[in-house]
Amino acid sequence: MLNRRILIASMAAAIGLARAAHGAVPGWCATEGLESATHGDDDNVEDALKRDDPTWALYYLVATTCSRDPDVEAQRAKLEEARRYWNQKLGMIEADWADVAAWALQGQGARYPNSGFFMEVGEKRPWSQYDALEQFMALRTQGTDTHYLMDALGARLTETGRLAYIEACLGHHDAPEVIWAMCQADIDAFDPAKVSVELRDVHPAGDQPVGYQRTIARLVNLNVRELLAAHAGEVKALIAKDEAYGKLFALSKATAEEWKGFVASNADLLALVSAMDDARITSSRKALEGCEDKTWAAWTGAMAKIPAKEFEGMHDEPAGLVVDKAMAPIIRDPGAYLASLAVALCRATSERDEVVHGLGNLMERWPGFRGPRNAALNAMVSAGITLDDRNAQLRFPFVTREWFGPRRYGRDGGSGLGVIAKVTAKGKQVHVEFVAKMVKQVQCAETRETHRLARIEPNGQLIYQQKCVRSQVITVNQASDPQDVDARYAAGLEPGVFTSIVCGIAEGVWPSPTAEIPTVILGVPVN
């Protein structure tokens, strides 16, 4: 089908050029503002016929093709031949020269393919609705987390979007080895011929002109195609230099293959995360309606699949640390990571508890498993690969995703730890009382003030040290104070089990104080 479209396009281009060769000025020369934008010595036939720099050749071809100067007319056949050459190089047809004309209206600096002047995607456009050109523009925007966005696009990724990602990848010259390995699967899959077709099929809403952007994309496509051959040589030399580099590329390739199977069996979860990504991008309250129940159901389902042994030996820490320690097994699991991502995105701007805060804080700096590229980065970071050169080390991309609301560095709320004596329903909470833990202690029963100064109060009062003159043995209850637990985290709470509670969350439930493996972790039964 693609070959047939290219054939039809080529025939149309030949007809258009043949007409122009007989002296007719193409219709796209009527582009508003073109006559005043290309003037004076812009009727430069010599530069229009050069084939070493498309940026200038295209500009002068627009100016000369649309010129009625008699001296230019005499060179019409050569100009049309030059346009045929660039049509072939850039995958264009005659109709695409209207895009080139729109591009020629811009200033010199804006016409280069690496120009910083490039329209961004419209505000609050959900990623799931990006067309090929919008993907290209978004992935070229400075500050964009390109690896995350590429993974988030998933099956909706276009070849034009992939083009922008590869361009960024090839542009990494400062310790680029890890980045190169991450994007190798996209380089292998890249089909530059599809870019031209996709660009032609872009139909923006309203009257938004896209000729300039499409021409930039075509120039980038040409540039990337020419760079890829040299890049392949650089990668080959890199791997030959040190086998450690080869391990990076092998890990990335294997991860990309594994991800195909994960996608096939986790379509609903990936769709949920995509919906949350769209809600974040659009800042839409409507898009977040009902997300708490949906994301929580996904999270508990993913958590239940993590083996209980992953949480072994956590409850002997002081209350509050189980939440922290439990996060590592959660975000190391692809399914649990994605479900956690959905929960954190859903509740980023609403009331969040310690679990959501903890997940958000960790995922802010963690590559995670949004897709094969971040999963590959995770694999490389975790592999412990070292270079043969002892004075060199691998450098990994810095991850920062500040989407989950303000970070929390301290905790508010009480905590408790021990064997449960009684559990009572309390609205949307359960009230937990702990078994008494009676111990004997020696306490001071009587003190006497000394003449040794201890401190001076702000009001000038002198406070003297106290000395114990009589002690006594008493029996005290060292059990934790009763705690109220959010019903969402109350699974498994019953008399006789051991639990750790912090800030209204039952961090875990164990059969006994000495049991190493929990039966419930963060409100989810585990096996």
* Same domain flag for 99 and 202: no
- Taking the mean position of all CA atoms in its chain, how far away is CA 115? 24
Asked if residue 191 is part of any domain, the answer here is: yes
Structurally, the chain folds into a number of domains equal to: 3
pLDDT above 70 for 21? no
Nearest Cα to Cα of residue 100 among 85, 90, 88, 114: 90
Asked if residue 62 is part of any domain, the answer here is: yes
Nearest Cα to Cα of residue 262 among 333, 310, 327, 343: 333
Residue ranges making up the domain that contains 446: 438-478
* Same domain flag for 107 and 134: no
Distance CA 468, CA 447 (A): 4
* Placement of tokens 């039964």 in the chain: 525
Q: Long-range contacts for 166-171 (Cβ within 8 Å, ≥24 apart)? A: 166/190, 166/224, 166/228, 167/140, 167/220, 167/223, 167/224, 168/139, 168/140, 170/224, 170/227, 170/228, 170/231
**Residue 115 and residue 216 in contact, taking contact as beta carbons nearer than 8 Å:** yes
* Same domain flag for 148 and 191: yes
Asked if residue 264 is part of any domain, the answer here is: no
Beta bridge partners of 447: 468
In eight-state DSSP terms, residue 471 is E
* Same domain flag for 173 and 81: no
* Same domain flag for 135 and 107: no
**pLDDT per residue as tens digits for the range 324-337:** 788 889 999 999 99
pLDDT at res. 115: 77
* Placement of tokens 């043969």 in the chain: 388
* Same domain flag for 92 and 137: no
Asked if residue 383 is part of any domain, the answer here is: no
Boundary of a domain, candidates 214, 241, 268: 241
**pLDDT per residue as tens digits for the range 124-146:** 789 999 999 999 999 988 777 99
* Same domain flag for 153 and 198: yes
* Placement of tokens 């320690």 in the chain: 325
**pLDDT per residue as tens digits for the range 237-255:** 999 999 999 999 999 999 9
* Placement of tokens 């064997």 in the chain: 419
Q: Rounded mean pLDDT of the chain?
A: 88
Q: Say how many residues make up the chain.
A: 527
Sign, CA dihedral 194-195-200-202, equals positive
Asked if residue 141 is part of any domain, the answer here is: yes
Boundary of a domain, candidates 111, 142, 162: 111
Distance CA 377, CA 393 (A): 16
Asked if residue 190 is part of any domain, the answer here is: yes
Asked if residue 360 is part of any domain, the answer here is: no
Nearest Cα to Cα of residue 135 among 105, 168, 102: 168
Question: pLDDT class for 196, splitting at 50, 70, 90?
Answer: very high
* Same domain flag for 107 and 139: no
**pLDDT per residue as tens digits for the range 424-459:** 999 999 999 999 998 998 999 999 988 888 888 888
* CA-angle at 306, arms to 301 and 309, nearest 5°: 145
pLDDT at res. 7: 32
Q: Helices marked H in 266-397 — which ranges?
A: 267-282, 285-288, 291-303, 321-332, 334-346, 354-363, 372-382
User: Residue 343 has which token pair?
Assistant: 């929960």
Boundary of a domain, candidates 241, 265, 282: 241
Calculated CA dihedral for residues 67, 71, 73, 78, nearest 10 degrees: -100
